Amino acid sequence: MNTKGKVYTVVFTFVASFIFILLLALVDTLVADQISRNEELSRVRALLNAMNIPYATDTEALRLFHKEVTALTSNGIDYYRYERNGETVYGLIHRGDGLWGTITIAVAVNQDLTRMIGLDVISQNETPGLGARIDESWFKAQFQGERLGAGGRLTVGEPGPGDTDHGNGKVDAITGASLTSRQLGIIVNDALATLRRALGGAG
């Protein structure tokens, strides 16, 4: 019976397994860190876009965000504040149910919550070419400067090319994606109500 051979095999197997597990753990940590950084960058860019703060690169986006935007918590709600030219802009990251999965957005409004500054989509799982078009520039442009309607709410109307009247509190739905458009409208209005609660008003 070759005892030395068996001991060598056991030791070699143990060491090889240990090294393999160590390498897997290292790769997992590196990947997790990168995913976390990418998720943070997505949130930062979306908030800057919604708040209408221009940036040229990802590095500049992170610098501007950490320098110019203040993170706040009130009534258990995390939100953001940006001061420019004597005006205050509030931002919020919010999520809700789309047609096929969770939609996560960033919204920004003026100080008295009567007009939207902008909206950006952080993540969504809607149908490509249909509901996924909520992330297209023409659709999001409808929210820029849009005056909020009764009760500080927005209305999603019938499908159209994009409502250019920023004083009627209404945006056009996407042709072929009315349900996703209306779900997004619900998420936006819920985000606005959440911001009102954070700022001490009625939701």
Per-residue pLDDT of the chain (203 residues; tens, 9 = 90+): 455 567 667 777 777 777 877 777 666 666 666 677 889 999 999 999 999 999 999 999 999 999 999 999 999 999 999 998 889 999 999 999 999 999 999 999 999 999 999 999 999 999 999 999 999 999 999 999 999 998 899 999 999 999 999 999 999 999 999 999 999 999 999 999 999 999 986 55
pLDDT 10s digits, 130-180: 999 999 999 999 999 999 998 899 999 999 999 999 999 999 999 999 999
88 contact partners, CB below 8 Å, separation of at least 6: 81, 82, 110, 111
Contact 134, 148 (CB under 8 A): no
Distance CA 180, CA 183 (A): 5
Contact 161, 144 (CB under 8 A): no
Distance CA 103, CA 106 (A): 10
Nearest to 87 by CA among 44, 152, 137, 145: 145
Bridge partners of 81, per DSSP, are 70, 90
**Predicted pLDDT of residue 30:** 63
Distance CA 114, CA 96 (A): 22
Distance CA 129, CA 202 (A): 37
Give CA 172 to chain center in angstroms. 21
Buried b (16+ CB within 10 A) or exposed e, 3-12: eeeeeeeeee
Contact 201, 113 (CB under 8 A): yes
Distance CA 160, CA 154 (A): 16
- Which contacts of 36-44 are long-range, i.e. CB under 8 A and separated by 24 or more positions? 42/122, 42/123, 43/93, 43/106, 43/122
Backbone angles phi, psi at 163, to 5 degrees: -75, 120
The sign of the dihedral angle between the CA atoms of 46, 119, 88, 85 is positive
**Predicted pLDDT of residue 31:** 62
- The residue ranges of every structural domain in the chain are 48-198
